[in-house]
Amino acid sequence: NQVRAEAREQFFDQYNRQQLLLAEQASRSVEDYFATLRRNLDFAASLFENGEVTRERAKVVQGSLDKLYQSLADTAVVDLVVFDREGTVVAINPPDPYTLGRSYAWRDYYQWARDQGRPGQMYVSPFMRMEGGQLRGNKALIVAEGIYSKEGEFQGVVALPFNFVDL
Q: Is 131 helix (H, G, I), strand (E, B) or coil?
A: coil
Q: How far is CA 9 from CA 3, 4, 16, 152, in A?
A: 10, 9, 10, 59
How do the pLDDT tens digits run along the chain, 167 residues long? 777 777 778 877 787 778 878 878 877 888 888 898 999 999 999 999 877 899 999 999 999 999 999 999 888 899 999 999 999 999 999 999 989 999 999 999 999 999 998 988 999 988 877 777 777 777 788 999 999 988 889 999 999 998 877 76
Query: Smallest Cα–Cα separation from 36: which of 89, 91, 77?
Result: 77
Which element (helix H / strand E) includes 72? none
Strands 80-84 and 89-93: antiparallel
Which pTM does this prediction carry?
0.82
